[in-house]
Amino acid sequence: MSSIPQTEYPLNTASPSPTEEQNHSRVKDYITNTLSNLLTELCSPDGHPSITVKPRSTKVSTRFINPQTGALETHVSEACTTYTWPGKDCYEAWRFTVAMRVLSGIADAVDKGVVVSKSRDIYYNDPAIFGSQRIVDRLVDDFAHTVGVDRTALNVGAAAKGLVVGCFQWRIQDPAMVDDAHFFNPDTLVPRPQDIQGLEVSDIEWVLILEKEAVYRRLAGMNYHVRSMAGLGILVTGKGYPDLNTRAFIRRLYDESRRRQASKRIRFYALVDGDPDGMGIMSTYKYGSLAYAHENSALNCPDIQWLGLRTSDIVAGVDPSGNDALLSLTERDRKKILAMLSNNPVWAVDGPEQEARAELLQMLMLNVKAEMQILYDGDGGLVRWLDRRMTHFP
Amino acid sequence: MSKQYLSCGSAGNAHPTDIYGLAVTDKFCLSASGSSSLKVHTTVDPDFPLVQSLDGAHKLGCHHVVTNAKGSRAASIGFGGEIAIWSCHDGVWAKDSTAPANQTGSAGIWAIALSEDGQYLAGVSQDGHVKVWDLNASGEEIRDYETKGSFGTCIDLSADGRFLASGHENGSIYIFSTETGRMPFSLSGLVKPVRAVAFSPGGKFLAAAGDSKVIVLYDTSSGEQVANLSGHTAWIMSLSWSNTGEYLLSGSFDGKVKVWSIDARACVATHSETEKSIWSVRWLPKVGRSEGFATTGASRSISFYREATGG
């Protein structure tokens, strides 16, 4: 479709995978074509400059769990949105301008081969015109979807957010320090998936995914990944809802696990709050998110087991912490649970997470939730609780 | 003194999810769960077979189902907050078209109760309002009592319809006179969330229980606490009075079911067949001289018990 020479490949990373290279040229093609079309139209007296995107998941007709991949996926009726200049009114003119500014921000990042941190960098170029970072965010996603790549290929990566520590080694290509390849025992931010060059995880038996950074710090501080009764492992937190990098890393570990013998697989555990967000976070790792439905099958980790926190454990007094530590649901919590039950097939009546569904309904019935801090004060604290749970689960 | 109740059958896996609500009439046992259908089992047949499934009753599942004494009308409320009214004709349950619930349930109602004749529906809301609707007048709201705003967890109407009681998350218990719309007195309440309130059949007592694991009996003429029944070691989720008012039935979160003698102020039977939480317990209509009850909860089954007789 285009004759743009592909020799000007400026990425000074070591040796990008073929798909990454292909993605890169697709991105360059798309940007060059779109921008040159814009120029042509602008130069002609009765030209109509326009930008067309395929917004991701606009009209979702059905959401379902793909039985092959175990990922949350959607059937989307593909619709296109076209931004034109000058448009019918002020609003359309603004929409076009914003789309063009975002596209040129992406073009800039791709040209220079630098990763702009999230959409924030683009947004702060001209906050007045964009209005909010969300608008930039959505457009970046839409452009990625239009080209058919994930957003890291547009060099608009999210700022690293997840944290990881554990008994493993890797080599990281740091995009900020081009020719410096690290090899170390990490306690570090989870990098972009394409920057992980070598990963050696043969020693580990488990991966513990934590919702809360505070819990992660506590466990990492006492070297739980080494000292656990369940063997050597890896601690990961996405600090709440995980970003794509953290999900991609968990998926990478899952892919490593699947290469092992059935009996030697890595065990994946999630420890989240006993509240709707905790359940939502666990589901994001295990099945994916509604927002990135088109990427879920490459990011989900179906092996995740739900370690806790279950409100029923607290209420029934199985945990020694007692039940004075329970909190009432807020109105937002109750609304969120209802939305989860009605919109997401993960928790449907015939869905794959019956235990989680029962837990959500029970939260509504009892109007209670339980936060992780409860475990700090229990008999032997968090570590003893974890040891018991993780050795108990097969 | 102790009494013996024997298991006399069960509706195994009556629902695919936890069963939260149970309502019993002279012929039927209606149950509500985390799935969208209400199930109707007959209590006349000793095998308690399923006789009807009200499919699609509540999309997100249903937590309370109640009936009037005659067994002619039922009301159910779903997790989405919607209320459905049902009526029974010739042994078949169907949506009650004469009692549109269009105005009911709009105000974040959580628990509901029906009057003996089925004309009045009462509900307590998540923001602590207690409301009454006249189902024979297009579901018009005829009462709205305001309390201090704590989540309303449970409600009951006295058999004569003169009193309404509500229990709340902050431990408060309120009694309203449906005639005057006033509180005849304030009750001392419980320290922890209340999960169940129930008037005795003659209206002499109000029983209340919840997270404090104790059942408190109030005298409804004075509002004084007249007894504390302790013995449960977990949250009490449901209460039910026997037809004569001699016995009180209770079920708790650890799966225990207890029968209490009101005269003796003591527990006379304890059942612990399951460790799964009990969400609802109900006495069955008396057959001959023998009384029985039904229990349900996280076991997803309904268990039936009858008093051992003739020993």
pLDDT digits (tens, 9 = 90+) for B171-207: 999 999 998 888 888 899 999 999 999 999 999 999 9
Q: What is the nearest CA distance from A334 to chain B, expressed in angstroms?
A: 10
Asked if A308 and A389 count as a contact pair (C-beta separation under 8 A), the reply is: yes
For the cut 90, the answer to whether the pLDDT of residue A44 exceeds it is: no
Q: Which residue has the higher pLDDT, A393 or A261?
A: A261
B139: left (phi over 0), alpha (psi -120 to 50) or beta: left
Please spell the DSSP secondary structure of A278-346, one letter per residue.
HHHHHHHHHT--STTGGGGGGT--TT-EEEE--HHHHHTT-STT-STT-EEPPHHHHHHHHHHHHH-GG
Q: What is the pLDDT of residue A16?
A: 42
Q: Are A243 and A158 in contact (CB under 8 A)?
A: yes
Does residue A37 sit at the B interface (CB-CB below 8 Å)?
no
Distance separating alpha carbons of residues B201 and B53, to the nearest angstrom: 30
Separation of alpha carbons B260 and B306, rounded Å: 15
DSSP 8-state class, residue A72 = E
- Mean pLDDT for the stretch of residues B233-258: 96
Continuous segment of H or E residues that includes residue A358: helix A354-366
State yes or no: pLDDT of A6 exceeds 70. Answer: no
Of B59, B63, B80, the CB nearest to A365: B63
Interface contact A341, partner B, CB < 8 A: yes
Strand partners, A210: A237, A271
CATH number at residue B198: 2.130.10.10
Q: Is A123 a catalytic residue?
A: no
What confidence tier does B111 reach under pLDDT thresholds 50, 70, 90?
very high
| Catalytic-role residue among A30, A91, A123, A124 | A124
What is the share, in percent, of chain B residues with pLDDT greater than 90?
80
Select the more confidently predicted residue: A22 or B175.
Answer: B175
pLDDT value at A373 more than 80: no
3-state secondary structure B106-172: CCCEEEEEECCCCCEEEEEECCCEEEEEEHHHCCEEEEEEECCCCCEEEEEECCCCCEEEEEECCCC
Question: Do A365 and B20 make contact, defined as CB atoms within 8 angstroms?
Answer: yes
What is the helix (H) or strand (E) element at residue B245, kind and residue range? none
A178-201 per-position pLDDT tens digit: 444 444 455 688 888 888 888 889
List the single residue in A with minimal CA-CA distance to B17.
A358
CB–CB contact B63 A338 (8 Å): no
Which position has the token pair 């409860």? A374
pLDDT more than 70, % of chain B: 97
Candidate from A203-217, A373-387, B122-136 with smallest mean pLDDT: A373-387
- Distance between CA atoms of residues A31 and A15, nearest Å: 23
> At B106, is the pLDDT very low, low, confident or very high (cuts 50, 70, 90)?
low
Q: Contact A349/B235, CB-based, under 8 Å?
A: no
Residue A138 has pLDDT above 90, yes or no: no
The answer to whether the CB atoms of A328 and B151 lie below 8 A apart is: yes
Residue reference for tokens 């040209």: A111
Ranking A133-147, A350-364, B98-112 by mean pLDDT, the lowest is: B98-112
Binned at pLDDT 50, 70 and 90, residue A5 comes out as very low
Kindly indicate the confidence band of residue A241, based on its pLDDT and cuts at 50, 70 and 90.
very high
Residue B133 domain boundaries? 5-307
Band of the pLDDT at A377, cuts 50, 70, 90? low
Cβ neighbours of A302 (radius 10 Å): 14
Domains, chain A, ranges and CATH?
23-154 (1.10.10), 166-392 (3.40.1360.10)
Confidence bin at B79 (pLDDT 50/70/90)? very high
A364 contacts in chain B (CB < 8 Å): 63, 79
Average pLDDT for residues A340-347, to the nearest whole number?
92
Cβ-contact A105, A116 below 8 angstroms: yes
Q: Give the per-residue pLDDT at A15.
A: 39
Residue A122, SS3 per DSSP:
helix
In this complex, how many residue pairs, one in chain A and one in chain B, have their CB atoms less than 8 Å apart? 55
Query: What total number of domains does chain B contain?
Result: 1
Q: Is A229 on the interface with B (CB under 8 A)?
A: no
pLDDT at A256 over 90: yes
CA distance B242 to B226: 19
Q: What is the pLDDT of residue A18?
A: 46
- Chain B residue with minimum CA distance to A368: B169
Render A232-259 in DSSP notation, one character per residue.
SEEEEE-SSS--HHHHHHHHHHHHHHHT
This prediction's pTM: 0.82
**Given an 8 Å threshold on Cβ–Cβ distance, is B34 in contact with A361?**
yes
Model confidence at B138, pLDDT cuts 50, 70, 90, reads confident
Is the CB of A348 inside 8 Å of chain B's CB atoms?
no
Could you tell me which residue, A383 or A319, shows the higher pLDDT?
Answer: A383
Rounded Cα distance, A23 and A26, in Å:
5
Determine the pLDDT at residue A11.
Answer: 34
Query: What percent of chain A clears pLDDT 70, i.e. is strictly above it?
Result: 83
pLDDT for B19 = 97
Provide mean pLDDT across the span B4-27. Answer: 93
Q: For A350-372, what is the mean pLDDT?
A: 92
Judged by a CB distance cut-off of 8 A, whether residue A325 touches chain B is: no
Residue A213: which H helix or E strand, with range? helix A213-221
Q: What is the pLDDT of residue A77?
A: 66
Interface test with A, best of B18, B109, B278 (most A CBs within 10 A): B18
Q: Which of B157, B195, B191 is nearest to B279 (CA)?
A: B195
Does position A370 have pLDDT exceeding 80, yes or no? yes
A326 touching chain B per CB within 8 A: no
Q: What pLDDT does residue A176 have?
A: 52
Is A202 in CB contact (< 8 Å) with chain B?
A: no
